[in-house]
Amino acid sequence: MNYEVKKLQTSEVEAVDAPEIVTIPKSVSLQTVLDIHHWTDELFSFRLTRPPEFRFRSGEFVMLGLMDGAKPLLRAYSIASPSWDDGLDFYSIKVQNGPLTSRLQHIKAGDQILLGKKPTGTLVLDALKPGKRLYLLSTGTGAAPFASILREPETYEKFDEVVFTHTCRNVADLDYSAKVVADLKDDPLVSDVAPGRVTFYPSTTREEFRTSGRITDLISSGKFFADIGFEAFNPETDRAMICGSTPMIADTKTLLEAAGLEEGSNAKPGEYVVEKAFVA
């Protein structure tokens, strides 16, 4: 996973990963792994160097991967660090027979990763109309873009309150999001505003926990709102972002639209947004 980079006349770069010589496309750059953390046997996060010219909006995703022989193997990954951070954080599941994650889970500090040059996405503040309360509704690794949003100062300029939900199968799967929220108190840019304005609502679907059940069921039953002390979704004041499994996204969209919220986009801001790149 370490490559020797040389300029070619074609403006591409050549990478030597013995015993093969491969050509890296101009659409990606090589970045170095700074840190990696294994949360469970199925989940890990890692941090990469950030090119000086790389610009993105908090909540966007980018293509990420490794060389697979002579071809790049790339997948879309939400950037878990905010737009102002000097590094790039990512959060991933481990799929043992997955083409990319079966290899990516074994990276170590000093290794090199392919990073796309064009971040994009709809889980951005610009795609939402002004409001009072922002709901960040996630399952699994869908928490990654919200780790970015939670550390973005603009979030607290646009919203008085933020509710971050994270639903996973087991209690240990919540460790990543719990640390994201706990670390807000020490964040260099939002520590003075975020801790008192963020409500964290974790839940599990398999292992027993203080809050158990699918987030959509908890919303439908009214338990979710009773637990956090807020009224049901109000299209006049509430905005939402959704990122998670395909069924969760579909069911959550149904609940939001039933409450009168309309989907937005970069071109036409609305009351809620979904990242379609991760919807099968």
Find tokens 């509704």 and name the residue. Answer: 137
Rounded to an integer, what distance in angstroms lies between the CA atom of residue 45 and that of residue 36? 6
The whole-number pLDDT of residue 58 equals 98
Query: Of 121, 124, 117, 120, which Cα lies nearest the Cα of 53?
Result: 117
pTM as predicted? 0.91
CA–CA–CA angle 127, 132, 136 (5° rounding): 60
10-residue mean pLDDT profile of the chain (280 residues): values are 46 46 84 98 98 97 92 95 98 93 95 96 97 98 98 98 98 98 98 97 96 97 97 97 96 98 97 81
Query: Of 81, 80, 104, 84, which Cα lies nearest the Cα of 93?
Result: 104
The whole-number pLDDT of residue 25 equals 86
The whole-number pLDDT of residue 21 equals 59
CA–CA–CA angle 235, 240, 242 (5° rounding): 140
The whole-number pLDDT of residue 20 equals 52
Instruction: Provide the token pair at 153.
Output: 């100062």
Do 130 and 51 meet the contact criterion of CB atoms below 8 Å apart? Answer: no
User: In three state form, how does the secondary structure of 17-48 look?
Assistant: ECCEEEEECCCEEEEEEEEEEECCCCEEEEEE
The whole-number pLDDT of residue 69 equals 84
The whole-number pLDDT of residue 276 equals 78
Domains and CATH numbers, the chain: 6-116 (2.40.30.10), 125-278 (3.40.50.80)
- What confidence tens digit (pLDDT) does each residue in 114-134 have? 999 999 999 999 999 999 999
The whole-number pLDDT of residue 279 equals 61
The whole-number pLDDT of residue 16 equals 41
Instruction: Provide the token pair at 126.
Output: 């610009």
Q: Residue 202 to residues 5, 52, 133, 181, 271: CA-CA distances in angstroms?
A: 44, 35, 18, 11, 23
